Chains A and B, each alone.
Chain A
Amino acid sequence: MTTTDATATTVTTQVYRVYIKTSAQAIWDAITKPEWTARYGYTGYVDYDLRPGGAYLVRASEEFRAGAEARGNELPEVIIEGEVLEADPPHRLVTTFHMLMDPQIASEGTTRITHEIKELDGGYCSLTLTHELDGAPTLALIVGGALESEGAGGGHAWVLSDLKSLLETGTTLAG
């Protein structure tokens, strides 16, 4: 790989890390179980078939759907579609990620998300989320939080902040 190629690749990758005072299993559950994902961030219901080649789907919560419709966006039944590439509970999850919320974003390429959970001293875990966003510039803006003032939410940083709040205090930022 030439230097130019490396640069082109890395510009489209986003990396996020948060430290959470809880167990690796609790973080894993909060990412992979719908009863948890409905409670923080964008509040979708995830549906993972946790084996390589298994399906990964996200359906909008009632709350999220109502918010989108109030802004004039009709949502499809499934808003995110992907495939599980690796699942090593409770430490590593790699999936593809294709946002279907609107036709323009859906026309962008399929991206890839890696979640890594590591146990640390003092009862803490680190959660690192790496999103490889080649060919998906609009999605990169959304997950990077750049469109928050337009109502697109704060992206991964916001979601992880909310997740930390939920796991450490039992409540989210919205209350």
Chain B
Amino acid sequence: MTDEDRVFKALADPTRRFLLDRLFARDGRTLTELESELEMSRFGVMKHLKVLEDASLVVTRRSGREKLHFLNPVPIRLIHDRWIDKYTERRVSALVELKAELEAEA
């Protein structure tokens, strides 16, 4: 499996995307903090974090006795830079803005 495959596989799961969103909102969390936001066993959350770590979307760092989880945006950036060239980017961001506007009105 290539690095890119790991990233797409890791992102293809709502629980893992939820975990990334939580880390985006506030970075550097412990397993206990992340677990408290999910209706899932500690073991289940650990398994999802492992998949995210294998894809390098999450990087852990020790701080004293705690293991902190950080969102690593680089793999997503690599996919962005690989798949979205300058021209499509402009079109894509126009569509993203349109979607946001229409949904805000709704």
Residue pair A13, B27 in contact (C-beta under 8 Å): yes
Nearest to B79 among chain A residues (CB) is A161
> Which residues from A are CB-within-8-Å of B46?
none
CB proximity to B under 8 Å, residues A129-145: 130, 145
CA distance A149 to B63 in the complex (A): 34
Interface residue from B26, B29, B74 paired with A18 (Cβ < 8 Å)? B74
Residue pair B27, A16 in contact (C-beta under 8 Å): no
> Which residues from A are CB-within-8-Å of B72?
15-17
CA distance A2 to B61 in the complex (A): 18
Say whether, besides A11-B26, A14-B27, A19-B56, A145 and B63 are in contact (CB < 8 Å).
Answer: no
Interface residue from A1, A11, A128 paired with B28 (Cβ < 8 Å)? A11
Report the interface size class on chain B. Answer: 20 to 34
CA distance A1 to B68 in the complex (A): 15
> Which residues from A are CB-within-8-Å of B77?
145, 154, 157-158, 160-161
Residue B21 CB within 8 A of the other chain: no
> Which residues from B are CB-within-8-Å of A13?
27-28, 61, 70
Interface size on A, residues (CB 8 A): 26
> Which residues from B are CB-within-8-Å of A160?
74, 77
Nearest to A144 among chain B residues (CB) is B73
Nearest to B3 among chain A residues (CB) is A19
Residue A26 CB within 8 A of the other chain: no
CA distance A18 to B63 in the complex (A): 21
Residue pair B26, A157 in contact (C-beta under 8 Å): no
Nearest to B60 among chain A residues (CB) is A15
Most chain B CB neighbours (cut-off 10 Å) among A17, A145, A158, A164? A17
CB of B63, distance to nearest CB on chain A (Å): 6
Residue B78 CB within 8 A of the other chain: yes
Residue pair A128, B59 in contact (C-beta under 8 Å): yes
CA distance A162 to B77 in the complex (A): 10
Residue pair A130, B61 in contact (C-beta under 8 Å): yes
Residue pair A17, B28 in contact (C-beta under 8 Å): no
Say whether, besides A17-B74, A130-B61, A164-B78, A11 and B66 are in contact (CB < 8 Å).
Answer: no
> Which residues from B are CB-within-8-Å of A157?
73-74, 76-77
CA distance A154 to B64 in the complex (A): 31
CB proximity to A under 8 Å, residues B35-91: 56, 59, 61, 63-64, 66, 68, 70, 72-74, 76-78, 81
Name 10 A/B residue pairs within 8 A (Cβ), A-sorted: A1-B64, A9-B28, A11-B26, A11-B28, A13-B27, A17-B74, A18-B78, A19-B56, A145-B77, A157-B76
